Amino acid sequence: MNLLLLEAADLIASDRARLQGRRLRHLHEVHRAGVGDSLRVGLLEGRMGLAQIVHLDETCAELVLQPLDQPPPAKLPITLLLALPRPKMLKRVLQTVASMGVPRLVLMGSYRVEKSFWQTPFLSPEAIREQLILGLEQARDTVLPEVRIERYFKPFVEDRLPALAQGTQGLIAHPGDYPPCPRALNTPLTLAIGPEGGWIPYEVEQLQRAGLAPVQLGERILRVETAVTALLARLF
- Identify which range of 2-10, 115-123, 144-152, 169-177 contacts ligand SAH by CB under 6 A: 169-177
Q: Which of 41, 132, 133, 227 binds ligand SAH (CB under 6 A)?
A: 227
CA dist., res. 35 & res. 64, Å (int): 11
> Cβ 194 to ligand SAH, closest distance in Å?
2
- Smallest gap from Cβ 30 to ligand SAH, in A, equals 32
Q: Is 60 in the site for ligand SAH (CB under 6 A)?
A: no
Taking CB under 6 A as the rule, does residue 222 contact ligand SAH? yes
Output 137 or 225, the one with its CB closest to ligand SAH: 225
Single out the residue of 194, 204, 206, 235 in contact with ligand SAH (rule: CB under 6 A): 194
d(CA 160, CA 127): 25
Minimum CB separation of residue 80 from ligand SAH in Å reads 11
Decide if residue 109 touches ligand SAH (CB under 6 A). no
Give the 3-state DSSP-derived string for 101-155, with helices as H, strands as E and coil as C: CCCEEEEECCCCCCHHHHHCHHHCHHHHHHHHHHHHHHHCCCCCCEEEEECCHHH
Instruction: Give the list of residues 6+ apart from residue 139 with CB closer than 8 angstroms, or none.
Output: 2, 3, 73, 98, 99, 100, 101
Task: Collect all residues with Cβ–Cβ distance below 8 Å to 70 and sequence separation of at least 6.
Answer: 47, 48, 49
Three-state SS at 196: coil
Binding range to ligand SAH, per CB under 6 A, among 4-12, 99-107, 143-151, 194-202: 194-202
Question: Of the two residues 100 and 193, which places its CB atom closer to ligand SAH in the complex?
Answer: 193
Could you say whether residue 220 binds ligand SAH (CB under 6 A)?
Answer: yes
Q: Which is nearer to ligand SAH, 155 or 179 (CB)?
A: 179
Q: In angstroms, give the least distance from the CB of 155 to ligand SAH.
A: 21
CA 207 – CA 54 distance, rounded (Å): 54
Among 52, 120, 216, 229, which residue sits at the site for ligand SAH (rule: CB under 6 A)? 216
Stated length of the chain: 236
- Using alpha carbons, select from 193, 181, 170, 172 the residue that is nearest to residue 217: 181
Q: Which is nearer to ligand SAH, 78 or 173 (CB)?
A: 173
Residue 83 β-bridge partners: 108
Q: Please give the residue ranges that form the binding site for ligand SAH (CB under 6 A).
A: 173-175, 193-194, 196-199, 216-218, 220-222, 224, 227
